[in-house]
Structure 1
Amino acid sequence: MPSMNTLDAIRLRREITAFTAEPIPAVIRDQLEEALHLGPTGNHALSRRFILVEQRGLLDRLSRTTPWMEWLRQAALGVVILAEPGVSKYWLQDATIAGAFLWLAATDLGLGMAWGAVYHSEDAAESER
């Protein structure tokens, strides 16, 4: 698949919340995971980790984590980005940048993607739903 330039990926990126059941090929999944790891981190501290989820049962359970992620019931792949505040004061930025890199890579690879936040640092009550 031909690669687009970065500005094209930025321009074409959209939130997609309807997916097909088609599995993500391993080579594509590996490229998405690489994009996550290529995101820069503050002070080079690895304050974020990633879990790629393909199991239907787990995706269904994750879809119920908040009222705004029902679309995970259709997704073939979910990515959980875990941020670790104890590792770096830049944990939120590090996790967010990794997510942005993932989104641009998904766009470049012709995949749709959506973003769902479970933890809302500015509103602790919202994180408890």
Structure 2
Amino acid sequence: MSPDRHEPERKNRPLPEGGSFFTPGASPLRRAVERRSAVPLVVLHNAPRWVLPVGMVGVLFAGLLLAGIAGALLLALLAAFIGWLAFLAWPRLRRPERATRCVVVATLLGLGVLQSGVF
């Protein structure tokens, strides 16, 4: 079957090099999270490079601009997403990189609490 002339041909970026997609010798929790994360990570990897940063900045600004629980939920969602990515990258990160990710997640959660109007 020939591709439609009007549709641009989409080429997937190659996956990063390595012998395994999963962390060798990982705990059962890490193996389960990595296994469930494989498909979403490949989808994110194959998306245009601008989608993830633009989406994250959009969610951040929307979370900061929307008052009340809506803004708080968006900031918590962004914190959960960054936390998920940090969890997956954790074994390969050095201490300063781990600390930075923890500070970012904690800051987003703190902003979410402030945005919710609890304080």
TM-score over 0.5 (shorter chain) = no
Higher strand share: 1
Q: Which has the larger radius of gyration?
A: 2
The structure whose RCO (Cα within 8 Å, separation 6+) is larger is 1
Is the helix fraction higher in 1 or 2? 2
> TM class by shorter-chain length?
0.3 to 0.5
TM-score (norm 2): 0.32
